[in-house]
Amino acid sequence: MMKAKVENRKNERGFTLVETTISMVVMMVAGLAVSSLFVFSTQNNVGGNERALAMAVAQQQMEQLRSVSFDSTLLNAGTTTSTIRSSNRDYTVVKAITDDVNPDNSVKLLRRITITVTPIGGGRATWTRTPVTLVALRSTVATGSFAVQ
């Protein structure tokens, strides 16, 4: 009876040490690929959030300039640079305001407002620190001929 059990076990095969090692290496490579994909995805989500916050800062700055009268000194032609802190992050804000002119160099009573917001970051990826730019045209509410020629 004992001999029959031993003969049956000779026909059974298990995994060898080499097969087990190879399968572990394959699983390790697949696991590393998935983990690097997870890190990449996390960085892109953080970067997208950073750019969304920069856009919010730019929109807030634009709304401030839209709320003042056309004759306000805040809308004088020129460029100003400032640093703003929002949501525990710092941003460089560049406001450029220019008077649009007609081909004959007469002023249109139309101003081009360009706001560029750049996140100031330490260890964040470089592409998340690219500037966000908003451009708007602002005209006076006075009556007259303001046709763009």
Within a domain: 80: yes
On the 0-12 / 13-18 / 19+ scale of CB atoms within 10 A, 54 is: buried
| pLDDT mean across residues, the chain | 82
User: Residue 37: which residues within 8 A CB-CB, separation 6 or more?
Assistant: none
Q: What is the mean pLDDT of each run of 10 residues along the chain (149 residues)?
A: 58 80 94 85 76 90 89 89 89 92 81 92 66 89 57
Within a domain: 8: no
Within a domain: 2: no
The pLDDT of residue 128: 66
CATH number for position 77: 3.30.1300.30
The pLDDT of residue 149: 46
The pLDDT of residue 47: 73
Within a domain: 51: yes
28 vs 12: CA distance, rounded Å: 28
Within a domain: 86: yes
Give rounded-to-5 percent helix, strand, coil for the chain.
Answer: 45, 30, 25
Helix (H/G/I), strand (E/B), else coil: 24: helix
Within a domain: 11: no
The pLDDT of residue 59: 94
